[in-house]
Amino acid sequence: MATDRRETHAVAEEPAFASRTDTMTYEVASDLRALRAFVWDAATARGLSAERVELLVLAVSELATNTLQHTVGGGRVRLWAEGDQVFCDVVDQGPARALGRDMPAANAVRGRGLAIVEQVCDEVTVRAAPEGTIVRIRLGR
C-alpha cells in the first residue's frame, strides 16, 4: 500500500516524458565529493557537455554546502532530464532560500553561495513541499 502511494506520488511530481531520476543523499561535508561525482556522472549520462556539467556540479555543491552549514538532517539531490534540459532538485529541511541577490563584492567575505548558483544556472526556483524545501535548478544542454 505504501509502495503504491509512493509510485503515484512520483508520477504526479514528474511529467510523463521524464526520464529516469537518479537520487543521492548527503549528511556530512565529506559526502560532498561523492555527491559531485554523482552529479557529474548522472548529468554526463544525460548528454550535458563537460563545460555545462562543471557548472551544474558547482551549483549542486554550493546548495548542498548551504544545507550542511545552515540546517540539520542533511539533504538529497535528484537529477533527471526533460528534452534537452537537465534538472536537479536539492531538498533539505532548511527555510526557503531568498533568490535574486546580486553577487557580493569581490572582497566581501560571505554570501556568495546562492549568487554563484543563480549565476551559473539557466533557472533556479525554490518551493516549500511536504518533503522539505526544494531548490530546483535547470541547465540546458
Partner 1 sequence: MAHFEARTSTTPGRIVVTLTGECDLAAQPELTTVLSAAVRAASVVVVDVGGLRFMDSTGLHGLVTAHQAARATGRRLYAVNASGPVATVLDITGIGNLLRPPVDDPRLAG
Chain residues binding partner 1 by CB under 8 A are: 29-30, 32-33, 36, 54-55, 57-58, 61-62, 65, 68-69, 103-110, 112-113, 115-116, 119-120
Shortest distance in whole angstroms from residue 59 CB to partner 1? 9
Shortest distance in whole angstroms from residue 73 CB to partner 1? 16
91 or 117: CB nearest partner 1:
117
Shortest distance in whole angstroms from residue 100 CB to partner 1? 16
Sheet holding 75-82: strands in order across? 22-26, 75-82, 85-92, 132-140, 123-129
